[in-house]
Structure 1
């Protein structure tokens, strides 16, 4: 599912901006479909403009109410009545999403213990490490995420020590029951 809010706080209308000859949301939808990993791909939106853009190309849309705290809450609303096990949440501004990382994420769910998964990628550019618009993630030895921040984490106490930095990629996968439970938790 692709949550798609027109009135984004940092860049309203971003999903309807042209990227070449297609809108960002259209490119994201087409990229998710092109992976051939999903039984169904839906854009979940409260926007008439986004709905019209996706329907015009033969895509599938689920309308959601406007008052959601996050895209995950929007996806949870749409998934509530679906008969599915795992739901993948691809951000609406991910026009270059590729099959391989999504496939790796889905493979984690072959283990019935796994309830939630997300993606990360290594960061090496010092500007990205310092950039508050880049969400960093710290993981343990099993690659389980333990902390997310827009600040520099881990903090380089000793400048001589080589640290690994990772960017959190805004793709999430949930087992349905976990998604619904997570969406019901209070904000922290």
Structure 2
């Protein structure tokens, strides 16, 4: 089984332009992600998919393969599909370029799903949710079936529409979703060629297109998320945490 990791890294981020190249303790953000992903034991290859020559140069400087992709691609999944469509592989792991603390262990948790069950369409990660995360529309929740497969994703505090988690005495009705994915190459093609689903548009969550298409999405439970960088403020917080040795 050939498992390829792809790091989508676009220059023109709306909230943080040039984000992959910003310095975190003296190294570009993209370098942190590459070095973390390279510690995976299951990836057979690692590729950076970018639209910018400066990001290409930074990635190649630390030994990463680079595929240039169109700036106008609508999502990270489309960028990944464009990068791997002519590459011989079975499984693709989407490694977010703004996750500088990603580890090889996290990547392998996603890849292992397909080693265990090659019939799976997708895999993703989630961790136990807090009351603050449950109530925040910025935190995506996922409800699972008894096989730890996704039933639905939402920004709402599901499934607690009638009874609160405090009344039921448990927060185990859902988990906090982490936006890392792995896909079979076959399903990634189907996903990217399909139009947006109504539920996807309504919730602004592209993984709902996968559920609409009938995908089986395995949800791997982890204890906590790695710290991502969405804004300059996130970068400052991460610098501080790393300086404290955390």
- Report the equivalent of 1:168: 177
CA RMSD after TM alignment: 1.6
TM-score w.r.t. length of structure 2: 0.71
Q: Does 1:95 align with 2:115?
A: no
Separation of aligned partners in 2, 1:32 and 1:25: 11
What 5-or-longer segments of structure 1 have no aligned partner?
none
Match of 1:68 in 2: 73
TM-score of the two chains, using structure 1 as the length reference:
0.91
Contact 2:33/2:98 (<8 A) preserved: yes
Specify whether residues 132 and 48 from structure 1 end up closer, same or farther in structure 2 by C-alpha distance, changes over 3 A only.
Answer: farther
Q: Once the 2 structures are TM-superposed, how far is the Cα of residue 77 of structure 1 from its aligned partner? A: 0.7
Q: Which consecutive aligned stretches of 4+ in structure 1 deviate over 3 angstroms post-superposition?
A: none
| Structure 1 residues 47-69: Cα deviation after superposition (integer angstroms, max 9, x where no partner) | 12211211122221110011111
Equivalent runs, 1:14-163 vs 2, <5 Å: 14-110=19-115, 111-124=117-130, 126-159=131-164, 160-161=167-168, 162-163=170-171
Q: Which has the higher helix share?
A: 2
For residue 38 of structure 2, give the secondary structure of its aligned residue in structure 1.
helix
Equivalent residue for 1:182, pick from 181, 185, 191: 191
* Contact kept in structure 1, 2:135 and 2:156, CA below 8 Å: yes
**Total equivalences in the alignment:** 187
